[in-house]
Structure 1
Amino acid sequence: MVLLPLVDLDPDLAALRPLGGFFVLRTAGAPADPPPPLAQTYAHRGEDVYEDSVTLRVRMITERLQAPELRVSASIAQQALAARLWSITLGCAVRYGSVPDLDPLLLHWDAAASAPDDLWLAEVRPRPADAATVADIVVRGHLEPLTAVLHARYGVAEGLLWGNAGSALAGAAREVDRWARGAGTDAGVRAHALAAELFTHPRLAPTGTLTGTAFRRRSCCLYYRVPGGGVCGDCCFMRDPRSSPGAASG
């Protein structure tokens, strides 16, 4: 395997581009009409605020997928954002050896856009790529306040949301591994090592079991409730619970 040299974070985070759109983070140039920073969204907590990023994304998903409940759309929105956060930090960790500070005051979420145009970082400030720092950036900085908002606003179970976070982390590590195998580097090994250490965090440890590159979560994201949806590959359910006699409501 080829060992990639670790380099300083560049202003455009260009080394993330080969990994795919979910890993890319916009940094250069402020958008003409920038969305509010995520810190503003987190501050709203249980309020259903017009044009709030969470409200906008949940309503958009509900309309597009014809989701039967807002909590289903909220779960899908949260897992997608968690996947973006984990992808950016894991990608930077293995490509640069450091990660950008994703302070909610600096990170803006355009809830009407899709990756890689949905997130914009106002300033690239490098931080160490160790598990404790990554957990501080993603878990404490984003997932904890986002969980509080979605639980208060839409009644989504906190355990479900943390299960989404665990699933998103495992998925991001697998995507790095997939790219690394094609590129002939050891980045996948390093990504999985970092993910395994992150799964020792008290918020993530109860979410499921990581075995090598495989993850089995202990909760369900509720995607099976979307018309035409089903259970995900890492779901706690082996089949759509609606097909089982006496199945729980989820």
Structure 2
Amino acid sequence: MANALRAPELRIAASVAQQGLAARLWSVMLGCAAVYGRVPDLDPGLLHWDPDASAPGDLWLSEVRPLPADSATVADVVLHGHLAPLATALRAHYRIAPGLLWGNAASALAGAARQLDHWAGPLGRTEAATRTRTLAAELLAHPLLAGAGTLTGTAFRRRSCCLYYRVPGGGVCGDCCFLRPPRSSARGASG
């Protein structure tokens, strides 16, 4: 990924990859919760991916085990089962600030919720939209994500930056704490 992005530092590619994985996990959980009222168990022993595939972000389950779609279960599966161990590894290997990683997780959650809300509204799926917004708000209040940003309706503004602006041709994301990319002299202090 670092080569594809032409990232000047490995930690930038690691941040972008972590946010992409978080988005995939949240999308699966929120979508299933909104539409079916249940979520799949994403136990690491059941969840698979192929890092050599043309789209290494593709995930699949070897077995589907439904779980309740409450915020405690979803937090346990996604935050504690995947994102917390990943954050520990990324901090150790790439010196990424914890606030940046939890900001990525919160941003990915808010983005998945916003997309589901935009999908549900025009289809008249008000119950699905309500479940999505409620679940996302409860998850953003979880101690690992609380304070990572501000949710107003379906709009989210994070308090950290994912570092994407440091990629050649990159810029700031729609929910970034920066309104425009910081100057080069401030780049070492961001995140």
Please report the TM-score for the alignment, with normalisation by the length of structure 1: 0.72
On the 8 A contact 2:21/2:57 being kept in 1, the answer is: no
On the 8 A contact 1:112/1:118 being kept in 2, the answer is: no
Q: 2:29 aligns with which of 79, 83, 89?
A: 89
In 1, Cα distance between the equivalents of 2:39 and 2:53?
A: 24
Instruction: Note the 1:43-192 alignment, pairs <5 A.
Output: 61-113=1-53, 118-186=58-126, 187-192=128-133
Deviations 1:206-242 (A, max 9, x none): 2111111011101000000000000111111111102
Partner AA of 2:19 in structure 1: Q
Task: Identify if the C-alpha distance between structure 1 residues 114 and 78 changes in structure 2 by more than 3 Å, giving closer, same or farther.
Answer: farther
On the 8 A contact 2:50/2:56 being kept in 1, the answer is: no
On the 8 A contact 1:209/1:217 being kept in 2, the answer is: yes
Shift of 1:156: 1.1
Shift of 1:178: 1.3
Tell me the matched-pair count. 188
Q: Does 1:198 align with 2:134?
A: no
Deviations 1:83-122 (A, max 9, x none): 0000000000011110000001111122344669710111
Q: 1:247 aligns with which of 179, 182, 186?
A: 186
On the 8 A contact 1:163/1:208 being kept in 2, the answer is: yes
Task: Output the aligned Cα RMSD.
Answer: 1.5
Shift of 1:190: 1.6
Deviations 1:35-77 (A, max 9, x none): xxxxxxxxxxxxxxxxxxxxxxxxxx11111010000000000
Task: Identify if the C-alpha distance between structure 1 residues 88 and 203 changes in structure 2 by more than 3 Å, giving closer, same or farther.
Answer: same
In 1, Cα distance between the equivalents of 2:145 and 2:66?
A: 24
In 2, Cα distance between the equivalents of 1:122 and 1:199?
A: 29
Q: Which moved more, 1:168-177 or 1:179-188?
A: 179-188
Task: Identify if the C-alpha distance between structure 1 residues 228 and 248 changes in structure 2 by more than 3 Å, giving closer, same or farther.
Answer: closer
Shift of 1:165: 0.1
Task: Identify if the C-alpha distance between structure 1 residues 94 and 233 changes in structure 2 by more than 3 Å, giving closer, same or farther.
Answer: same
On the 8 A contact 2:29/2:40 being kept in 1, the answer is: yes
In 2, Cα distance between the equivalents of 1:179 and 1:112?
A: 32
On the 8 A contact 1:79/1:165 being kept in 2, the answer is: yes
* Identical positions, percent: 69
Larger-Rg structure: 1
Instruction: Tell me the secondary structure at the aligned position of residue 121 of structure 2.
Output: helix
Partner AA of 2:43 in structure 1: D
On the 8 A contact 2:49/2:56 being kept in 1, the answer is: no
Partner AA of 1:63 in structure 2: N
Q: Does 1:226 align with 2:167?
A: yes
In 2, Cα distance between the equivalents of 1:122 and 1:139?
A: 21
